[in-house]
Structure 1
């Protein structure tokens, strides 16, 4: 059996969210409908952006999950470069780079308040 894991992020506007994530990831969507857009992140992994499920999402609503973008090698200079790039693009930074025990990491938010962590790949 072939399996794939799709991490779904609920957003207010799927095309707008796709532009945001496409810019951050440096890639184009692999599947698009007006309310559901996915990015192929590699074998067996996709990121799905789904609108219409939670109209009027508010950044004040606590989020209990996050998308983690794991970078290979775990080099602090690479993570810091991504942090500076995102900051220069105006991405909301929730926590600047810090050592979390598993390596250097930082936490950002998309325009809907969903959390995005950048961390070293295990």
Structure 2
């Protein structure tokens, strides 16, 4: 059986993006070079950051248009509010959705400096 355990995002400046994520998550990358960085989170999930200029096969160089997001699940609804307030203090995070109850739970969304969407959510599948 296949298990997804890693996401890779393409960015123009790997070191700058790695610095952003290191500060955002208070986590050091396990690998860092000018063309690639990797973070490993508790639970084993990996976030790779690859230079959009060196990824192979080459990625299309089109103006950015989001077509996905990185999702971070919290243990409690209060954690969503805490991260919303904490992330809101980062100058390079743009909040695009304040905390709101949606059909899947309680959530907010932001955009990183490279235009990738970040979603924090507390899954509430019981409809509380």
User: Which whole-Å CA distance do the structure 1 matches of 2:44 and 2:86 have between them?
Assistant: 28
Counterpart residue number, 1:65: 68
What is the alpha-carbon root mean square deviation over aligned residues? 2.4
> What secondary structure, in the 3-state scheme, does the structure 1 residue paired with 2:109 have?
strand
**How many residues were matched structurally?**
118
1:80-95 equivalences under 5 Å are 80-90=81-91, 91-95=93-97
Find the counterpart in structure 1 of residue 23 from structure 2.
23
Q: TM-score, normalised by structure 1?
A: 0.83
Q: Which runs of 5+ in 1 are unaligned?
A: none
Rounded to whole Å, the distance in 2 between the matches of 1:71 and 1:25 is: 13
2: CA distance, partners of 1:95 / 1:2? 33
Larger-Rg structure: 2
Aligned to 1:117: 119
Q: Secondary structure at the match of 1:93?
A: strand
Q: 1:121–1:21: structure 2 CA closer, same or farther, 3 Å change rule?
A: farther
Cα distance in 1 for partners of 2:120, 2:86 equals 12
> For residues 121 and 31 of structure 1, what CA distance do their matches in structure 2 show?
31
Higher relative contact order (CA 8 A, sep 6+): 1
Q: Which runs of 5+ in 2 are unaligned?
A: none
Once residues 117 and 103 of structure 2 are traced to their aligned partners in structure 1, the CA distance between those partners, rounded to angstroms, is 19
**Greater helix content:** 1
Check whether the contact 1:40–1:47 (CA below 8 A) recurs between aligned residues. yes
What is the distance in 2 between the residues matched to 1:64 and 1:44?
Answer: 24
Q: Which string of whole-angstrom CA distances, capped at 9 and with x for unpartnered residues, describes residues 42-81 of structure 1?
A: 34420001112459775xx221111111112x32x22111
